[in-house]
Chain A
C-alpha cells in the first residue's frame, strides 16, 4: 500500500511538471467543506448529528469548572463565552507580548492555566484540551478569519510561508505542490483540498475523534515521508499562522467534519 501511494504521488508530479507555486487569489479560496460529499456535509451541518458537538459540550462543562490551585474556572475571568470568546479563535495564532512569539489557541489555554489557574498544562490532543479549544472556537463559528493582522507577526508569517513552499521528505513535496497547484484533483481516491483550516479542531472520520490542525499537519508530513515537527514546535505554529492568514475572510466552521 505504501508503494502504491508513492506511485500515486509520483504520477501527480509527472502530470504537472511545469506548474509553479502560485497562491490562491482570495476570491477563489474554498473551505474543505466544498470538497466533501453530501453525507459528510450533512453530518457537519446538523448539530445533533455532528460528533464534534460532543466535544463542544464537554468544553462547555470544563469552561465553568474550577481548576488548579487558584480554584478558578475560565468563566470566572471570561464570563459567558458566547460573548467573550466570539471571534477570538478567528484571529489565532496570536502574538504574545511576554513570549515575543505567536501562540496557538491550545497554547493560550495552557498559558491561562499556568498563569491564572495555577493548573498543570493539558497535553496536546488530550480530550480536555480539544474540548476546551473546540468550545472556544465554536463561539467564532460563522466569523470571518482575521489571523495574521498584527504587524508583530510578520517574521513568523514569513517563516510559515517559507515552510509551506519548501519541499521536504522522501517524496520531496511542498505543501504548495498539492494545496495551491493541484487542489480539486485527486490523490489515491481522495480530493486534494486547498488546506484552508476553517474548522479546527475538527472531527475527522478517519480519526473517529476530534483533532487539532497540528495533528493534521503532522499526518501530512508523514504522508510525504518527512520527519514531523513535535506538537507546539515553533515551525508548526508558524505554519498554522500562515495557513490561517491564507484563509483570511473564510468563515470559521468549528467543529467541522472532514473525511
Chain B
C-alpha cells in the first residue's frame, strides 16, 4: 500500500526544509469491539524513523491516539545531496520503508 512523501527536490545548503509523510495504515486502537462484542485487537504503527544519508534526523513513537493513515510533518537542515529514508514499524511485525532524493547546492 502506498505512502506519500514530500521532500523538496532541491535546497540550498543550510536551508531549513519541511518533510511530510503520509502512509496507509488502519491504526486499529485495540479499544473497539465488533457488533458481537469481540475486542478488535490493536494493530498500529508504533515507531517512525527518518534518516538523512544514514543519520537519524527525526523519530517518533506513535500510540493508538494517532489517526488512521498517519501523517507526520517535521523539519531538518539541508546539509548535502543524498537521500532521506523513512521507516515505519508496527504491531504484528509490520514494517514499511520509503525514500526520497534531495539535491543540495
Contacts and interface: CB of A to CB of B under 8 A. Distances in A.
Instruction: Tell me if chains A and B make direct contact, with any CB pair below 8 A.
Output: yes
Contact of A51 (B5, B6, B20, B69): B69
Interface residues of B, number: 16
Contacts of A47: 4
A115 interface: no
Contacts of A55: 2
Contacts of A152: none
A54 B6 contact: no
Given A48-B6, A57-B4, A58-B1, A208 B68 contact: yes
Contacts of B22: 48-49, 51, 53-54
Contacts of B20: 48-49
Interface string A187-205: 0000000000000000001
B69 A208 contact: yes
Interface of B: 1-6, 20, 22-24, 26-27, 67-69, 71
Given A48-B6, A53-B22, A61-B2, 7 more contacts: A48-B4, A48-B20, A48-B22, A51-B68, A53-B4, A57-B4, A209-B26
B93 to A, nearest CB: 20
Interface string A72-115: 00000000000000000000000000000000000000000000
Given A49-B20, A49-B22, A54 B68 contact: no
Nearest to B70: A51
A48 B2 CA distance: 12
12 contacts: A48-B6, A49-B20, A49-B71, A51-B68, A51-B69, A54-B1, A54-B2, A54-B3, A54-B4, A54-B69, A58-B24, A209-B68
Nearest to A59: B2
B68 A58 contact: no
A57 to B, nearest CB: 4
A48 B23 CA distance: 10
Most buried by B among A51, A53, A208: A51
A127 to B, nearest CB: 8
A250 B67 CA distance: 31
Contacts of A209: 26, 68-69
Contacts of B23: 54
A61 B1 CA distance: 10
Nearest to A210: B69
Instruction: Across the A-B interface, give the 9 residue pairs with the lowest CB-CB distance, nearest first.
Output: A57-B2, A208-B68, A48-B6, A51-B69, A54-B2, A54-B24, A58-B2, A48-B4, A48-B20
A104 B3 CA distance: 28
